[in-house]
Structure 1
Amino acid sequence: MGFPSPAADYTDKPISLDELFIKTPHATYFMKCPDYCPSAGVLKDALLVIDSSKRPVHGSVVVAALCGEFVLRRLLTMPVPCLAKLENYDDVTFADEETGFEIFGVVTHVVNDMTMSEFDDNPCM
């Protein structure tokens, strides 16, 4: 048996991705994003963390069921509820009887693979 480390008081607990990303385990889902939406911080094939229990508000990035498929959109509630594409706010889908949409959940976190955004403007080979 030795002496306890004097630095033992300064050790941090390990980082847990579950604690960081999952607030409500029964309502948390993961999805890969096939789109590239850099203005929203989403690169192609990013991992999206979606919380279906979180209430969306104006400006929330959401996953919605639209015409039978899941899409990534920004919820705009004023002046009327609609879903806007992340890269083009002029392209919106309004909530009406024909194209009604259902919000599945709110995107709470985005995990990007930063090696996909590398650019070598001075290659050595």
Structure 2
Amino acid sequence: MRRALLLLVAVPTALLADPTLAPAPLSYTQLPDARQEAAAQALMQTIRCVVCQGQSIADSDADLAGDMRALVRQRIAAGETPQAIRAWLIARYGRWVSYQPAIDAMTWPLWAAPIVLLGLGWLLARTAFRRRRVA
């Protein structure tokens, strides 16, 4: 009993985390239909990898990104639209997973802020130049 416990403590946790499952069949294999593969690739470029966080699932080598690529290809091959697949992925992983967020009540300030800041900067510059001209 003590030896078993000592063995569990001595084995590094990282070795236990090594994936032993093979990647999903469609994670690295393209669809036979070129139009379906093009639709899948276009969608995969707009979905963020939840592990890498800076790459799309098309560019990421993470296991989860491979599973997401396989899922996208399977659903495209089954006849689902890219919009329906995107909606399902957003429902499952949250809005953050999409590189193309929708404009709604939660995100409109992010879209409007640059325009408002440019307008304020223009007004400040105009006022400053007018004061200089007067003086």
Shared fold, TM over 0.5: no
TM-score by length of 1: 0.26
- Answer with 1 or 2: which has the greater Rg: 2
| Relative contact order higher in (CA < 8 Å, ≥ 6 apart) | 1
Question: Which protein has the bigger helix share?
Answer: 2
TM-score by length of 2: 0.24
